[in-house]
Amino acid sequence: MTDTELTFTDNFGSLLVIMPSVVNKLLSYRQIDSLNNESAGVLIGERRESHIVVHEISEPGEGDIRRRCFVDRRGPQHQAAVDEAFARSSGTLQYLGEWHTHPEDQPTPSAMDLGTWRRNLAAQDPMVLLIIGRKDIWAAKKIIERIVPLFRV
Ligand SMILES: [Zn+2]
Protein backbone atom coordinates (compact mmCIF):
# COMPACT_ATOMS: atom_id res chain seq x y z
CA MET A 1 0.00 0.00 0.00
CA THR A 2 1.22 3.48 -0.80
CA ASP A 3 0.13 6.83 0.62
CA THR A 4 1.83 8.96 -1.99
CA GLU A 5 0.39 9.99 -5.31
CA LEU A 6 1.94 9.00 -8.61
CA THR A 7 2.86 11.94 -10.86
CA PHE A 8 3.66 12.03 -14.56
CA THR A 9 4.49 14.97 -16.83
CA ASP A 10 4.60 15.77 -20.51
CA ASN A 11 7.32 17.84 -22.21
CA PHE A 12 5.46 21.05 -21.38
CA GLY A 13 5.05 20.55 -17.64
CA SER A 14 1.42 19.52 -17.68
CA LEU A 15 1.02 17.04 -14.85
CA LEU A 16 -0.98 13.87 -14.47
CA VAL A 17 -1.51 13.15 -10.77
CA ILE A 18 -2.95 9.82 -9.65
CA MET A 19 -4.22 9.90 -6.08
CA PRO A 20 -2.87 7.25 -3.63
CA SER A 21 -6.20 5.43 -3.23
CA VAL A 22 -6.32 5.01 -7.01
CA VAL A 23 -2.69 3.85 -7.19
CA ASN A 24 -3.43 1.16 -4.61
CA LYS A 25 -6.50 -0.05 -6.50
CA LEU A 26 -4.63 -0.15 -9.81
CA LEU A 27 -1.70 -2.05 -8.31
CA SER A 28 -4.10 -4.60 -6.82
CA TYR A 29 -5.02 -5.70 -10.38
CA ARG A 30 -1.43 -6.37 -11.49
CA GLN A 31 -1.15 -9.71 -13.32
CA ILE A 32 1.47 -11.13 -10.99
CA ASP A 33 0.14 -14.68 -11.09
CA SER A 34 0.03 -16.61 -14.38
CA LEU A 35 -3.70 -17.19 -13.83
CA ASN A 36 -4.60 -13.50 -13.52
CA ASN A 37 -6.65 -12.13 -16.40
CA GLU A 38 -6.45 -8.61 -17.76
CA SER A 39 -8.51 -5.98 -15.98
CA ALA A 40 -9.83 -2.67 -17.26
CA GLY A 41 -11.83 0.35 -16.23
CA VAL A 42 -12.27 4.06 -16.65
CA LEU A 43 -10.42 6.94 -15.00
CA ILE A 44 -12.45 9.62 -13.23
CA GLY A 45 -11.20 12.94 -11.89
CA GLU A 46 -10.76 16.62 -12.56
CA ARG A 47 -8.97 18.94 -14.93
CA ARG A 48 -7.15 21.89 -13.37
CA GLU A 49 -5.96 24.15 -16.18
CA SER A 50 -3.55 21.91 -18.13
CA HIS A 51 -3.19 19.43 -15.25
CA ILE A 52 -5.23 16.28 -14.68
CA VAL A 53 -5.94 14.63 -11.32
CA VAL A 54 -7.32 11.09 -11.19
CA HIS A 55 -9.49 10.63 -8.07
CA GLU A 56 -11.45 7.47 -8.82
CA ILE A 57 -11.62 4.50 -11.19
CA SER A 58 -14.17 1.94 -12.19
CA GLU A 59 -13.20 -1.67 -11.61
CA PRO A 60 -13.83 -4.98 -13.37
CA GLY A 61 -17.20 -6.59 -12.86
CA GLU A 62 -19.94 -8.68 -14.37
CA GLY A 63 -20.33 -8.21 -18.10
CA ASP A 64 -16.64 -7.57 -18.77
CA ILE A 65 -14.79 -10.01 -21.02
CA ARG A 66 -11.46 -10.87 -19.42
CA ARG A 67 -8.67 -13.13 -20.71
CA ARG A 68 -4.97 -13.47 -20.04
CA CYS A 69 -4.05 -11.09 -22.88
CA PHE A 70 -7.36 -9.45 -23.68
CA VAL A 71 -9.98 -7.36 -21.95
CA ASP A 72 -13.15 -5.65 -23.12
CA ARG A 73 -14.84 -3.56 -20.46
CA ARG A 74 -18.46 -4.10 -21.40
CA GLY A 75 -19.98 -4.12 -17.92
CA PRO A 76 -22.48 -1.38 -17.06
CA GLN A 77 -20.62 -0.39 -13.89
CA HIS A 78 -18.03 1.69 -15.77
CA GLN A 79 -20.48 4.21 -17.24
CA ALA A 80 -22.47 4.10 -13.99
CA ALA A 81 -19.36 5.12 -12.02
CA VAL A 82 -18.79 8.08 -14.37
CA ASP A 83 -22.41 9.21 -14.13
CA GLU A 84 -22.50 8.83 -10.34
CA ALA A 85 -19.26 10.78 -9.79
CA PHE A 86 -20.34 13.53 -12.20
CA ALA A 87 -23.66 13.98 -10.40
CA ARG A 88 -22.17 13.77 -6.90
CA SER A 89 -19.52 16.41 -7.69
CA SER A 90 -21.80 18.69 -9.73
CA GLY A 91 -19.68 18.03 -12.78
CA THR A 92 -16.20 18.45 -11.28
CA LEU A 93 -15.37 14.75 -11.53
CA GLN A 94 -15.43 13.64 -15.14
CA TYR A 95 -14.49 10.77 -17.38
CA LEU A 96 -10.77 11.21 -18.09
CA GLY A 97 -9.72 8.05 -19.93
CA GLU A 98 -8.99 4.37 -19.67
CA TRP A 99 -6.84 1.93 -17.71
CA HIS A 100 -6.08 -1.75 -18.21
CA THR A 101 -3.47 -4.28 -17.16
CA HIS A 102 -0.88 -6.24 -19.14
CA PRO A 103 0.91 -9.45 -18.14
CA GLU A 104 4.37 -7.93 -18.74
CA ASP A 105 6.86 -6.17 -16.46
CA GLN A 106 7.32 -3.01 -18.54
CA PRO A 107 4.02 -2.52 -20.34
CA THR A 108 3.67 -1.01 -23.81
CA PRO A 109 0.50 -0.62 -25.86
CA SER A 110 -0.41 -3.40 -28.29
CA ALA A 111 -1.45 -2.69 -31.87
CA MET A 112 -4.99 -3.49 -30.74
CA ASP A 113 -4.76 -0.95 -27.90
CA LEU A 114 -3.64 1.78 -30.30
CA GLY A 115 -6.39 0.94 -32.77
CA THR A 116 -9.08 0.89 -30.09
CA TRP A 117 -7.97 4.22 -28.64
CA ARG A 118 -7.83 5.82 -32.09
CA ARG A 119 -11.36 4.68 -32.91
CA ASN A 120 -13.14 4.98 -29.59
CA LEU A 121 -11.58 7.76 -27.58
CA ALA A 122 -12.59 10.89 -29.43
CA ALA A 123 -12.52 14.10 -27.43
CA GLN A 124 -11.45 17.71 -27.65
CA ASP A 125 -9.71 17.54 -24.26
CA PRO A 126 -6.61 15.39 -23.72
CA MET A 127 -7.58 11.90 -22.55
CA VAL A 128 -5.48 9.71 -20.24
CA LEU A 129 -4.32 6.18 -21.06
CA LEU A 130 -2.78 3.90 -18.43
CA ILE A 131 -1.41 0.38 -18.75
CA ILE A 132 -0.62 -1.35 -15.47
CA GLY A 133 2.29 -3.77 -15.89
CA ARG A 134 3.79 -6.05 -13.29
CA LYS A 135 6.62 -3.68 -12.39
CA ASP A 136 5.78 -0.40 -14.08
CA ILE A 137 2.92 1.78 -15.24
CA TRP A 138 2.80 3.17 -18.79
CA ALA A 139 1.01 6.51 -19.09
CA ALA A 140 0.09 8.64 -22.06
CA LYS A 141 -2.32 11.30 -23.18
CA LYS A 142 -4.35 11.19 -26.33
CA ILE A 143 -4.40 14.70 -27.75
CA ILE A 144 -6.81 14.84 -30.70
CA GLU A 145 -5.25 12.08 -32.87
CA ARG A 146 -1.81 11.85 -31.24
CA ILE A 147 -0.82 9.51 -28.42
CA VAL A 148 1.85 11.26 -26.33
CA PRO A 149 3.75 9.19 -23.73
CA LEU A 150 4.26 10.75 -20.28
CA PHE A 151 7.25 10.53 -17.93
CA ARG A 152 7.39 9.78 -14.21
CA VAL A 153 8.23 12.85 -12.10
ZN1 LIG B 1 -3.42 -3.60 -23.82
How many Å lie between the centroid of ligand 1 and the Cα of residue 64? Answer: 15
How many Å lie between the centroid of ligand 1 and the Cα of residue 60? Answer: 15
> pLDDT band for position 145 (50/70/90)?
confident
Secondary structure class of 121 (helix, strand, coil): coil
Domain positions in the chain are 6-152
Annotated catalytic residue 5: no
Task: Classify residue 22 by its DSSP letter.
Answer: H
How many Å lie between the centroid of ligand 1 and the Cα of residue 139? Answer: 12
Q: Other C-beta atoms within 10 Å of 114: how many?
A: 13
- In terms of Cβ atoms closer than 10 Å to its own Cβ (0-12, 13-18, 19+), residue 85 is buried
Q: Quick one: CATH architecture of 6-152?
A: 3-Layer(aba) Sandwich (3.40)
Each residue's pLDDT tens digit, 99-140: 999 999 999 999 999 999 988 887 889 999 999 999 999 999
Catalytic residue among 38, 56, 59, 98: 38
